[in-house]
C-alpha cells in the first residue's frame, strides 16, 4: 500500500518507521528541503497548495493522511476529490481552528474554559470585560508549542495584545488554574471501532512538552474516554486523535484536540503493545486496530534544541533514543527518549538521570 503524507517532519518519519514493516511505502509532501521524513520515503518537495503537486501525490498513492494540522483545509478538500483522505477535510477544518474546536466541545457538553471570539482589539477589550483576567489570547489557527499565544495578567497586557499576535483572528480563553495536564491518544478505525491509550500526565516547559508519563488506571480515564468518544463520533473520525485536558477540581476541562499522532503518544513506540503510529496507519488503511495496552511503566522526555551525547543517553537503563536527524536550533524538537521500567520508583530514577544530562 502506498501512503501519501502531508508534512515530512518527525511525525511523518515515525509513521514510516511503523508502516514499513506492514509493507507500506511513503511519499511525503513538504516544502522544506531538509524534511526529516525524506530519509524514509519519497519526498515531493513542493508547496501544500500547488495543484500540480497535489495531483501528482493523489495519482501515486492509495490514500493520503497528514502529520500536522496547519495544512490548509482547501488542500485536503482538493485531494479528497481524487483519493481517500483520512482524517477528513471536515475533521481537519474543526480541529485546526481553536474557535471551531471549543464551540464543538460546548455543543457536545464537554467542559472547557470560558472563551470568546476576537476579531479586533475592540472585541478583545469586550472579551476581557466579560471573561476577566488572567486570560490567554491565542490565534485561532497555526499556533503550536506555545507559539501564537499571550498570557494577559493585568490591564496593561491587554493594550496592543491583538496587534502583538499579528492582527489575525484569535480567541480569548479564561486562564485555567489547573492541578495537572493530561492527554488521551485515541484511535478510531474506518469501521467505527475506538481504542484509547492510558491517560498520559504531561509537563510543559515554556509551552513546549517536556515530559510525558503514561498512567496506571488513572481515575479520570473513563471520563476522558467518554469525551473523546463524543468527538470521534461527531467527526466520524478515522485515525489517531489526541486530546489535551486540564485537570481541575478532580475533573477535566478540554484544552485542545490534535487530528494526528501526538508528541504525548511517542512513549507508545516502546511502551505499548502497538504504537500510536502503527495504529494510525492501521486505522486509515482499514485494518484491524492493535492493542493499546501498555508494557510496564514508561515515560518520554523530549530533546528541545539539542540532544545529549548518544552514549550518555543509552547508558541509562532501558532507554530508547529517537534522533530525528534535524538541525539543532533553540526551541526546536530534535529528538526524544522513551524510558521503560518494571517499577514507578525506578522509572523516576531513570528520568532523573536523563534530566541531569539536559542540565549538564
Ligand X SMILES: Nc1ncnc2c1ncn2[C@@H]1O[C@H](COP(=O)(O)OP(=O)(O)O)[C@@H](O)[C@H]1O
286 binds, among Mg ion, ligand X, none (CB under 5 to 8 A by kind): none
Q: Among the candidate windows 6-14, 47-55, 143-151, 291-299, which touches ligand X by CB under 6 A?
A: 143-151
Longest distance between any two alpha carbons in the chain, whole Å: 57
Contact 88, 232 (CB under 8 A): no
CB of 115 to ligand X, least distance (A): 8
Question: Is residue 173 part of the contact set for ligand X (CB under 6 A)?
Answer: yes
CA distances from 148 to 4, 57, 77, 98, 170 (A): 29, 31, 25, 12, 9
Among Mg ion, ligand X, none, what does residue 73 contact (CB within 5–8 Å per kind)? none
User: Which residue number, 78 or 100, has a Cβ lying nearer to Mg ion?
Assistant: 100
Q: Is 231 in the site for ligand X (CB under 6 A)?
A: no
CB of 171 to Mg ion, least distance (A): 14
In the complex, what is the shortest distance from the CB of residue 29 to ligand X, in angstroms, rounded to a whole number?
22
Among ligand X, Mg ion, none, what does residue 279 contact (CB within 5–8 Å per kind)?
none
- 65, 86 contact by CB (below 8 A): yes
- Binding segment for Mg ion (CB under 5 A), chosen from 69-77, 152-160, 242-250, 330-338, is 242-250
Cβ 208 to ligand X, closest distance in Å?
Answer: 8
**175 counts as binding ligand X under rule CB under 6 A:** yes
239 binds, among Mg ion, ligand X, none (CB under 5 to 8 A by kind): none
- Closest CB to Mg ion among residues 4, 148: 148
We find the least distance from the C-beta atom of residue 299 to ligand X, in angstroms, to be 17
Pick the stretch among 54-62, 104-112, 139-147, 223-231 that binds ligand X (CB under 6 A). Answer: 139-147
Give me the least distance between CB of 332 and Mg ion, in Å please.
Answer: 17
Please, which residue, 101 or 244, has the CB nearer to Mg ion? 244
Distances in Å between the Cα of 210 and the Cα atoms of 9, 33, 202 are 19, 27, 8
The yes or no reply on residue 97 touching ligand X (CB under 6 A) is no
101 is a contact residue toward ligand X (CB under 6 A):
no
- Of 41 and 174, nearer to ligand X (C-beta) is 174
143 binds ligand X (CB under 6 A): yes
Instruction: Name which of Mg ion, ligand X, none residue 146 binds, using a CB cut-off of 5 to 8 Å depending on partner kind.
Output: ligand X
Three-state secondary structure along the chain? CEEEEECCCHHHHHHHHHHHHHCCEEEEECCCCCCHHHHHCEEECCCCCCHHHHHHHHHHCCEEEECCCCCCHHHHHHHHCCCCECCCHHHHHHHCCHHHHHHHHHHCCCCECCEEEECCHHHHHHHHHHHCCCEEEEECCCCCCCCCEEEECCHHHHCCHHHHCCCCCEEEEECCCCCEEEEEEEEECCCCCEEECCCEEEEEECCEEEEEEECCCCCCHHHHHHHHHHHHHHCCCCEEEEEEEEEECCEEEEEEEECCCCHHHCCHHHHECCCHHHHHHHHHCCCCCCCCCECCEEEEEEEECCCCCHHHHHCCCCEEEEECCCCCCCCCEEEEEEEEECCHHHHHHHHHHHHHHHHC
Sole window of 16-24, 107-115, 163-171, 241-249 interacting with Mg ion (rule: CB under 5 A): 241-249
Decide if residue 9 touches ligand X (CB under 6 A): no
Report in angstroms how near the CB of residue 101 gets to ligand X at its nearest.
10
Q: Toward ligand X, which CB reaches closer, 16 or 161?
A: 161
The option from Mg ion, ligand X, none interacting with 100 (CB < 5 to 8 A, set by class) reads: none
Q: Within 13 Å of residue 12, how many CA atoms lie on the same side as its CB? A: 29
Residues that bind ligand X (CB under 6 A): 113, 136, 143-146, 173, 175-176, 181, 204, 207, 244, 255-256
Residues that bind Mg ion (CB under 5 A): 244
Amino acid at each position: 500500500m502506498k501512503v501519501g503524507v502531508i508534512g515530512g517532519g518527525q511525525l511523518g518519519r515515525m509513521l514510516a518507521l511503523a508502516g514499513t514493516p506492514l509493507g507500506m511505502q511513503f511519499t511525503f509532501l513538504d516544502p522544506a528541503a531538509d524534511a526529516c521524513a525524506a530519509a524514509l520515503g519519497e519526498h515531493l518537495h513542493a508547496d501544500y497548495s500547488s495543484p500540480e503537486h497535489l495531483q501528482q501525490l493523489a495519482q501515486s498513492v492509495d490514500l493520503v493522511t497528514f502529520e500536522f494540522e496547519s495544512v490548509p483545509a482547501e488542500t485536503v478538500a482538493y485531494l479528497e476529490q481524487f483519493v481517500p483522505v483520512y482524517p477528513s477535510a471536515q475533521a481537519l477544518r474543526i480541529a485546526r481552528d481553536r474557535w471551531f474546536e471549543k464551540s464543538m466541545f460546548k455543543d457536545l457538553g464537554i467542559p472547557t474554559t470560558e472563551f470568546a471570539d476576537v476579531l479586533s482589539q475592540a472585541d478583545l477589550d469586550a472579551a476581557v470585560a466579560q471573561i476577566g483576567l488572567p486570560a490567554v489570547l491565542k490565534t485561532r489557527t497555526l499556533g503550536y508549542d506555545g507559539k501564537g499565544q499571550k498570557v494577559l495578567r493585568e490591564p496593561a497586557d491587554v493594550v496592543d495584545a491583538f496587534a502583538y499576535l499579528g492582527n489575525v483572528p484569535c480567541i480569548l480563553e479564561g486562564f485555567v488554574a489547573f492541578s495537572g495536564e493530561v492527554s488521551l491518544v485515541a484511535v478510531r478505525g474506518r469501521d467505527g471501532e475506538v481504542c484509547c491509550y492510558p491517560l498520559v500526565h504531561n509537563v510543559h516547559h515554556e509551552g513546549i512538552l517536556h515530559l510525558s508519563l503514561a498512567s496506571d488506571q488513572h481515575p479520570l480515564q473513563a471520563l476522558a474516554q467518554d469525551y473523546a468518544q463524543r468527538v470521534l463520533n461527531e467527526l466520524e473520525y478515522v485515525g489517531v486523535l489526541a486530546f489535551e485536558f486540564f485537570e481541575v477540581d478532580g475533573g477535566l476541562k478540554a484544552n485542545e484536540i490534535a487530528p494526528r499522532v501526538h508528541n504525548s503518544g511517542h512513549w507508545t513506540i516502546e511502551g505499548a503493545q502497538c504504537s500510536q503510529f502503527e495504529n494510525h496507519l492501521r486505522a486509515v488503511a482499514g485494518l484491524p486496530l492493535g492493542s493499546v495496552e501498555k508494557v510496564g511503566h514508561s515515560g518520554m522526555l523530549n530533546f528541545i534544541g539539542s540532544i545529549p551525547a548518544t552514549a550518555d543517553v543509552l547508558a541509562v537503563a532501558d532507554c530508547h533514543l529517537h534522533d530525528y536527524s534535524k538541525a539543532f536550533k533553540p526551541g526546536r524538537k530534535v529528538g526524544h527518549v522513551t524510558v521503560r521500567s518494571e517499577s514507578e520508583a525506578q522509572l523516576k530514577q531513570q528520568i532523573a538521570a536523563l534530566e541531569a544530562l539536559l542540565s549538564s
